[in-house]
Amino acid sequence: MTKADQIRQIEELSLNATPALSELVHDGWLLRLTGGATRRVNSVQVLYPGTQPLQEKIAFCEAVYHAKKLPAIFKLTHAAQPPELDATLEKAGYAMSHATWVQTCALEETLADHHKILHWNEPGDEWIKAAACAKSVAPSALARHRALVSAIQLPVQYMAIQEDGVACSCGFAVLQRPWIGLFDINTRIDCRNRGLAHQLVSALLAWGKTNAATHAYLQVEENNSPARRLYDKLGFKDNYRYWYRIGTGSNG
């Protein structure tokens, strides 16, 4: 398997783990549309080659997003097709934003104290409230957040650590054997530097191991040094990098 094939494999896993509310396939590209500020579910995924001229494909995407009153955003990796897309977008004025590393690790035996960690198989009210508290989700965005996590069609484990009834750390894992993906790992600002995220991630990895997963992946922004230190301690290593090209009118 080539490096490009490995990238596409994990990108496909990630797409399945975090479905958009609306999607459109166009000549090898996947246009994801949800609304709101989340780039992951409001961007063009450029994984496969097509047959149409590049400028026509870009113009098609721009028209689709602008019709929805959304900026055109392209998610790029070194496996993006065609290879000249990044340079073409840069020349057209698309700004690079949110460089992120996809990290992976082989799952080893993981010890986790599940008695201190709440976990659910469905994103019910209790987990939604916990996630909103840990992530500081605005009340106006709760309905969309619930819709996104409820759209996942694969086995999921939602977890949270609470103290005195307040959610301190929260996240979830999606299983697509032999992989699990970790998403939305967040800890309240006033609860950080106490090892809570380490406990949470360890518990999610243990769940994956119990359910026959052998490898895990996650996404961490390049400049998020605390998170990168945490994941390094847990055995994660940089696998490949992705970034966004954002058109005029985006809020970033």
Instruction: Give residue limits of the domains in the chain.
Output: 3-103+242-246, 108-213
pLDDT of the residue at 251: 39
Task: Kindly tell me if the per-residue pLDDT of 41 is higher than 90.
Answer: yes
Percent of the chain with pLDDT over 90: 68
Mean pLDDT of 155-183: 91
Q: Are 106 and 213 in contact (CB under 8 A)?
A: no
**What DSSP element (H or E) covers 231?**
helix 225-233
pLDDT of the residue at 250: 44
Q: Which residues contact 57 (CB under 8 A, 6 or more apart)?
A: 26, 27, 29, 50
Average pLDDT along the chain: 90
Q: Which CATH architecture has domain 108-213?
A: 3-Layer(aba) Sandwich (3.40)
Highest mean pLDDT out of 94-108, 119-133, 136-150, 238-252: 94-108
| Per-residue pLDDT band at 132 (split at 50, 70, 90) | confident
Q: Are 187 and 151 in contact (CB under 8 A)?
A: no
Task: Kindly tell me if the per-residue pLDDT of 218 is higher than 80.
Answer: yes
Tokens 């390049």, residue located:
222
For residues 238 and 228, give the distance between their C-alpha atoms in angstroms, rounded to a whole number. 9
pLDDT of the residue at 48: 92
Query: Could you tell me which residue, 67 or 38, shows the higher pLDDT?
Result: 67
| Per-residue pLDDT band at 1 (split at 50, 70, 90) | confident
For residues 67 and 33, give the distance between their C-alpha atoms in angstroms, rounded to a whole number. 11
pLDDT of the residue at 115: 57
Region of 35 on the Ramachandran plot (φ > 0 left; ψ -120 to 50 alpha; else beta): left
**What DSSP element (H or E) covers 241?**
strand 237-246
Which stretch of 5-14, 131-140, 142-151 has the lowest confidence by average pLDDT? 131-140
Which stretch of 27-36, 72-81, 118-127 has the lowest confidence by average pLDDT? 118-127
Q: In what order do the strands lie in the sheet with 179-187?
A: 22-26, 29-33, 44-45, 73-77, 237-246, 95-106, 215-221, 179-187, 166-176, 156-163, 118-120
Q: Which CATH architecture has domain 3-103+242-246?
A: 3-Layer(aba) Sandwich (3.40)
